Amino acid sequence: MILDRFRLDGRVAVVTGAGRGIGAGTAIALAEAGADVLISSRTEAQLTEVAQRITALGRRAVVVPADLSDLDQVAALATRAADELGRLDVVVNNVGGTIPNAFLDTTPEYLEEAFRFNVSTAHALSRAAVPLMLRDADGPNGEAGSIVNISSVMGRLAGRGYLAYGTAKAALAHWTRLAARDLDPHVRVNGIAVGSVMTSALEFVAGHEETRNAMEEVTPLRRIGDVEDIAATVVYLASQAGSYVTGKVLEVDGGLDQPNLDLGLPDLDPTTTTTEEQS
């Protein structure tokens, strides 16, 4: 049966940023496909709710509240999963994000922080996970595991205010391609360039009907994405259904060829922007 290829029975996954939104939906979807899941984010209460939904499906859940901007803490999740759940097969690097900012307000430190939170975290966890994946390899043709990175449509599109976020997500997308070459044929590495998805973060701005209508009008499929759109793609990439896919960044964005959220940042005003203000 073709649907059997989407099963993850007996597999163990780590999902970061799993307290809500895409991370929570992904962790639950992996459990529905048969995986046991370690979930991590800052807020224990949110993780506990997600874990309850996982255990209700008959799967095991390990809750690890952590500051995932700390590279040591994020790397430690790999060993924790293997120790408590017996093995490690799937890593979903979902933690990340950066608040949009005007160009002159984007300091070098802000840019470096965006890179660290979106790229260095993924590298730290993946680097810690790969030896464990190789140790537990038992897939067809010696396949050991799957890494899925949550990137963004803003890693390939240009929009005002997204310099730090878009640059970091573009770096994560290319990290995906490069890591896939380093790790093939045993560990597959793929990414998802996510479009606008209705999470609590987006609802803060798109919850207004006028804004949402404007965003949908610019999106070829005329709707905002659902968490399940991304979660289903993760299951595909993590499972045998995606076993012939590596080094790819799938665009799950409703067909966007331009940003669909205008932040309304004004043009620079040469009469008020002084050299002192730029320094």
Mean pLDDT for the stretch of residues 164-187: 97
* 64 three-state secondary structure: strand
* 90 three-state secondary structure: strand
Q: Is the pLDDT of residue 199 over 80?
A: no
Residue 65: closest CA among 45, 79, 50: 45
Residues 6+ apart with CB under 8 A from 55: 61
Per-residue pLDDT reduced to its tens digit, 78-118: 999 999 999 999 999 999 988 889 999 999 999 999 999 99
Give catalytic residues, as residue numbers: 165
For 235, half-sphere exposure in the C-beta direction (CA atoms, 13 angstrom radius) is: 25
In eight-state DSSP terms, residue 250 is E
Residue 205 confidence (pLDDT): 60
Q: How far apart are CA 250 and CA 229, in angstroms?
A: 12
Q: pLDDT grade, residue 275 (50/70/90)?
A: very low
Domains located in the chain, CATH noted: 8-195+229-253 (3.40.50.720)
For 150, half-sphere exposure in the C-beta direction (CA atoms, 13 angstrom radius) is: 30
Token output for 48: 């506990």
Per-residue pLDDT reduced to its tens digit, 127-165: 999 999 999 887 656 677 999 999 999 999 999 999 999
Q: 190 and 248 in contact (C-beta within 8 Å)?
A: yes
Residue 143: closest CA among 85, 184, 180: 184
For helices 108-115 and 163-183, what crossing angle results, to 10°?
40
Q: Is the pLDDT of residue 274 over 60?
A: no
Which residues is 12 bridged to in the sheet?
36
Per-residue pLDDT reduced to its tens digit, 252-266: 999 899 988 888 888
